[in-house]
Homo-oligomer: A and B are copies of this chain.
Amino acid sequence: MTASPSEPTAAPASPGPHPHPRPRPRADRARQVAEVLRRQIASGAFPSGVLPDERSLIADHGASRNTVREALGVLRDEGVVERRQGVGTVIRRRTYEHTLERLTGLAETLSAYGRVSNEVRVADVLRPPREVARKLCVPDDGQVVYIERLRRLGDDPLSLDLTYLTTDIGRPLLDADLAGRDLFSLIEESVGGPLGSASVTVHAVNADPGTSALLGTPPGQAVFTVERLTRMPDGRPVDLEFLRVRGDRLAFRAELGRGTGVPDSPTGDNR
C-alpha cells in the first residue's frame, strides 16, 4: 500500500464498513488544509509573518496546488491572511490565546504582546437586574457596582466588558486605576488575598451592529460572549462579568483531564 497524501479519494486503505468511492470535493480538502494553517498561525508558527510559499505548502499538506489556493482563499476571506505582491501570503492579524485553565486577567495574559488599556464607559452603583442579584446573592432591592469597559491592546479594541460586583468588593474599585488594570488584580489588592474559583461559559455569536461599531469589526463579526462568575475562596460570588470578545483577536485555551474535572457549578444553573 502506498502512503497516500492527505487527499483521500478512493476506497479506505484498510477494509472496513466505510468505503468512500467518490472523490472528495476540493472544498473539503481545502478546509482540512485551512484548519491546520489557522492553528499554526495562531500558535506563532510563522514568526516572519509570511506563510511558506505555495510549493512548500503543497509538500507539507500533501495537497494539490488548487486545494492549497482554495485553503488560502478561506483564510483570506476570514481576514487572517492577505496576498502581498512580491512578498507572498502574509499574516494580517495574530489571534492571542487567553488561558481558561487559570483565572487570569487580560492584561496579565497579554503583557508579552503589548499594553492593555481600558476606556471606562461606566463606573457606578446601581440596582442590578433581578437575575444578576440572584447570581451575586444580593437582595432584589440591593445594590451592586457596575463597571463597563472597552478594552484595547495597543490601539485595537479587544473586548467590551460588563461587570457587576458586590458593593463591598466593588466600591473600593471606583477609586482605583480602572483604565490601566485588570479587575482581578485590583480586587486581590483590595481584599489582600487571592480570589477563589470561577464558572465560565463561552458562546460564539455574530456581533450586533452596535457591538461591531464599538469593537471596530465588520458587522456580524464572530465574537465570543463570555459569562464569568467569580467567587471568593469561601465560595461567595462577588463578580459577574459579561464579556464580548473579538474572535479574530483572542482565542481560549485549556488543558483538560479525563474524569479529573471539578464538580458542576454549585449554583446548579450554569449547565
Contacts and interface: CB of A to CB of B under 8 A. Distances in A.
A259 B196 CA distance: 9
22 contacts: A3-B143, A6-B128, A14-B171, A30-B210, A31-B162, A38-B205, A39-B131, A40-B131, A43-B201, A43-B271, A62-B127, A74-B208, A77-B208, A99-B261, A100-B100, A195-B258, A196-B257, A197-B255, A199-B256, A202-B254, A204-B224, A206-B220
A221 B247 CA distance: 13
Contacts of A259: 102-103, 194
A20 B122 CA distance: 7
A37 B175 CA distance: 30
Instruction: Tell me if A's interface is mostly helix, strand, loop or mixed.
Output: mixed
A247 B222 contact: yes
- Chain B CB within 10 A, most for which of A124, A126, A257: A124
A228 to B, nearest CB: 8
Interface residues of A, number: 113
Interface of A: 1, 3-8, 12-14, 16-18, 20, 24, 27-28, 30-36, 38-40, 42-45, 59-63, 74, 77-78, 95, 97, 99-103, 120-132, 141-143, 146, 148, 162, 171, 174-175, 178, 184, 194-206, 208, 210-211, 220-225, 227, 242, 245, 247-248, 251-262, 265, 269-271
Given A174-B14, A256-B102, A60 B204 contact: no
Q: Tell me how many chains of this kind the complex includes.
A: 2
Given A3-B141, A202-B253, A257-B262, 8 more contacts: A1-B125, A13-B124, A14-B174, A18-B178, A24-B121, A33-B129, A35-B225, A99-B261
B16 A123 contact: yes
B124 A251 contact: no
B43 A125 contact: no
